[in-house]
Amino acid sequence: MTKDELKRKLKSAYYWQRSLEEDYLELQKLRDNAARVTPQYSKAPAGCGDGHKLERTIVSIADYEAIIKEHMDNLYMALKEVTRLINLVDDPQAHLVLQMRYRNFKKWEQIAAETNYSITHIYRIHGMALSEIIQFTKTTDTQEK
């Protein structure tokens, strides 16, 4: 596994998290629309005009809830993989940096501030941790063959 492939795997949970946030915003918009839609009663035959607006909105809500469930499952699997990779690192300092970055989705500046290290030192710790994971996965892959 290359460093770029590892970073992509570690960042995957962040992208699923962001996707879920956007899904929830869209779902909330649909629910707000459903709350504004009121049934109309008229003598016009069914199917005339826009009498099915509430029904379409409810179907859209159900569709979005299914999408959200799928994205939640993807986020769960991504977090599980991220945790597995982070746990390959023995150094507690590096483990913490990876945890804060890839499980808690913190920015580099936040990590530096919370750990009382310079951002340069955080980058150095991060780079060493990634190298350790790559080395471990190469060793494991070689042993499995």
The closest alpha carbon to 75, from 26, 137, 11, belongs to 11
Q: Are residues 64 and 127 part of one domain?
A: no
pLDDT at 128: 96
Percent of the chain past pLDDT 90, that is, above it, reads 66
Q: Are residues 21 and 81 part of one domain?
A: yes
Reply yes or no on whether the pLDDT at 36 is more than 60.
yes
Give domain status of residue 1, yes or no.
no
Give domain status of residue 3, yes or no.
no
- Pick from 21-25, 110-114, 115-119, 139-143: least confident: 139-143
**Cα angle 140-88-16, degrees, rounded to a multiple of 5:** 105
Q: Are residues 92 and 81 part of one domain?
A: no
Q: Are residues 77 and 138 part of one domain?
A: no
Using CA atoms, how far apart are residues 34 and 38, in angstroms rounded to an integer?
8
Number of domain units in the chain = 2
Whole-model pTM: value is: 0.77
Containing structural domain, residue 140: 87-145
Q: What is the pLDDT of residues 113-132, one digit of tens each?
A: 999 999 999 999 999 999 99
Mean pLDDT of 83-91: 95
The domain boundary residue, chosen from 40, 60, 85: 85
Q: Are residues 72 and 95 part of one domain?
A: no
